[in-house]
Chains A and B, each alone.
Chain A
Amino acid sequence: MTQQKGHPLIRLTDVSKSFGPIDVLRGINLDVAAGEVCCVLGDNGAGKSTLINIIAGLHQHTSGRYTVDGHDVRFGSPREALDLGISAVYQHLALVPLLPVWRNFFLGSELTRGVWPFARLDKAQMKEITDQALQNMGIVVKDLEQPVGTLSGGQRQCVAIARAIHFGARVLILDEPTAALGVKQSGVVLKYISRAAQESGVGVVFITHNPHHAYMVGDSFAILSRGEIDLRARREELSVDDLIYRMAGGAELESLQHEMGR
């Protein structure tokens, strides 16, 4: 599963999206390579959600090109994206809280033994694989039988990400995975994201509005503003302060500050 680092996985070229007369995205250029974390930053309503929905197959782009491994694609459903290894982990849609950890991990892809109608869950093997997959990524849960809802927010995100990787994700789209988390829990997730990219070689699209979080794990950055890419830079090209400045609105914010005279 490990892929050549730097091998380009997905590329958007001049992609636009309109809902009726409203242009939500205009002329987006973005590429994600294996083993790299591409951070997409932006304010509320900047078009982040639409962008990841296009990548994940929930929406189709109106114009421009979307290529996976160099081939043009136009997904009709998230399933088609998933079949090419493009997997989205949504903040609230990842897991079923009352279901035990191992049942969540294999939900929809359960292993069974025996022949129908006597096919039964291969509980022992699923628990072992879950345990292994979580340990490989440095996540420790007390008891795989505990409901996922009892894990901390950070751990829940990690379990969802580990599951996506275990089931063959090559491109992971993480929608604000740290938005609802405290400092320590965010650290757990960020560490895990960076580890997933480096060790499993997955390409990560990390959506966030926190420039500090982005700079900790990002190899490249894209700031989205009113449906357009405002800044596209590699890590070497800017400092965390640049990122914060641009993210906060740059010159616009400065003039506002000036106006308010403080």
Chain B
Amino acid sequence: MSETVSNTGPAATSSPAAASDNTAQQPQPASREPHRSMGQRLAGLIKRPEIGSIGGAILVFVLFYALAEPFRNLASFSTVLYQSAALGIPAVAVALLMIGGEFDLSAGVAVTASSLAASMFAAQITGNVWVGVGFALVLSLSIGALNGILLIKTGLHSFLVTLSTFLMLQGLNLAITKLVTGNVATGDISDLAGFDSAQSVFASYFNIFGMSISIMVFYWLAFVAVATWILLRTRVGNWIFAVGGQGDSARAVGVPLNKVKIGLFMGVGFAAWFVGMHLLFDYVTVQSGEGVGNELLYIAQAVVGGCLLTGGYGSAIGAAIGGFIFGMTTQGIIYAGWDPQWFMFFVGVMLLLATVFNAWIRRQVTRG
């Protein structure tokens, strides 16, 4: 390949404004302008996928700060953070999956399936909760892998595949729990071996600045950090964007599309397991009918956070901010003294606003 290039001029002779004409036949400066102007920086910031959710978070915060007096209390903030984390951990994994172009409707009941499996396996078979925890992990990852493999083998849309697994899991949760325990909930496991250590790992609390903060909040931040790093700094992250953006192109240049998709579903399985373990060791017993409806909240958070339903675009930080918005809303409604039933209405409003705003952002991005 030739090193000499005839039609690229030295950088100094041409103003950066000339670079706006980007056809190949024009003489161009050899290097681009290193310092971007304030306007360009602002434009770059607006193009971040999470910008809409940041605006939404500020809006919701101001709203409840003004309306709900207890909301201004620092201690209530720890409850907000806890709510955000419990919803937000699966949402981060769901966001990665959606960037990879797929849905998971089974994530909500998968959380409950994991808690139930750990609880019943420990109580009925081993007597040690850690073995149950391990069993639940294997089960959750298998559910994720099954979703991915079904998707690839059947060629169906992930909406249909995971709707099926959602319904199956919902049935299994109730049926197996009733079969094993004779009840719709599992028994108390707090007297089993290993319970205290497991509780300290999954469901302990820290006192910081006079607030009692759940360990889940730290795990949530860790999930977001790792997911962001994977997305933006690793090969796998590049592949996730690519398989979601244009799967055929990605496959054509050698991206292992099937592995990426199965891996993403297993990531959701892992997050479901994690939250499932928290709920188990926080509440000691598990209601087998729980979790239904949460899958849509996970998806809603990811979408509020800037993920496109069509894939290929979004961020884990955005999903985290989406979770924070939902956490503030749940608690804000209670602090404002409203009926908690208003929560879903607010979720709907925010989802609608976010989707419209994000669609506008995307048009700006693709326009350049």
Interface residues of A (CB under 8 A from B): 1-2, 78-79, 82, 90, 93-99, 103, 106-110, 112, 119-121, 123, 135-136, 138-143, 146-147, 149-152, 154-155, 158, 165, 184, 187-188, 191-192, 199-200
Contact = CB atoms under 8 A, between A and B. Distances in A.
Interface stretch (B3-11, B76-84, B193-201, B346-354): B3-11
B22 interface: yes
Interface-central residue, B25, B246, B249, B253, by most chain A CB under 10 Å: B253
A138 B24 CA distance: 6
Contact of B250 (A108, A123, A135, A152): A108
B255 interface: yes
Contact of A98 (B22, B24, B365): B365
Contacts of A191: 24-25
A94 B32 contact: no
A90 B246 CA distance: 13
Contact of B312 (A98, A141, A187): A98
Contacts of B241: 96, 98-99, 103
24 contacts: A1-B1, A90-B252, A93-B246, A96-B249, A96-B250, A106-B238, A108-B239, A108-B253, A110-B235, A110-B238, A121-B235, A135-B5, A135-B8, A136-B3, A139-B24, A140-B8, A140-B26, A141-B22, A147-B368, A150-B366, A158-B24, A165-B1, A191-B25, A199-B2
B153 interface: no
> Looking at B8, B28, B30, B238, which has the most chain A CB atoms within 10 Å of its CB?
B238
Nearest to A88: B252
Contacts of A150: 365-368
A233 B368 CA distance: 44
A154 B238 CA distance: 24
Interface string B305-331: 000000011000000000000000000
Q: 7 smallest A-B Cβ distances: which pairs?
A: A150-B368, A108-B253, A108-B254, A96-B245, A140-B28, A110-B235, A120-B233
Size class of the B contact interface (CB-based, 8 Å): 35 or more
B234 interface: yes
Contact of A95 (B8, B28, B246): B246
Contacts of B8: 135, 138, 140
Interface of B: 1-3, 5, 7-8, 19-20, 22-26, 28, 30, 32, 229, 233-235, 237-239, 241-242, 245-246, 248-250, 252-255, 312-313, 365-368
A117 to B, nearest CB: 9
Tell me which of A109, A142, A191 has the highest count of chain B C-beta atoms within 10 A of its own C-beta.
A142
Contacts of B237: 121
Contact of B23 (A2, A121, A184): A184
A138 B5 contact: yes
A2 B1 contact: yes
B188 to A, nearest CB: 38
A109 B5 contact: no
A5 to B, nearest CB: 14
B245 A98 contact: yes
Given A150-B368, A158-B24, A96 B7 contact: no
Contacts of B28: 140
Contacts of B19: 140, 142
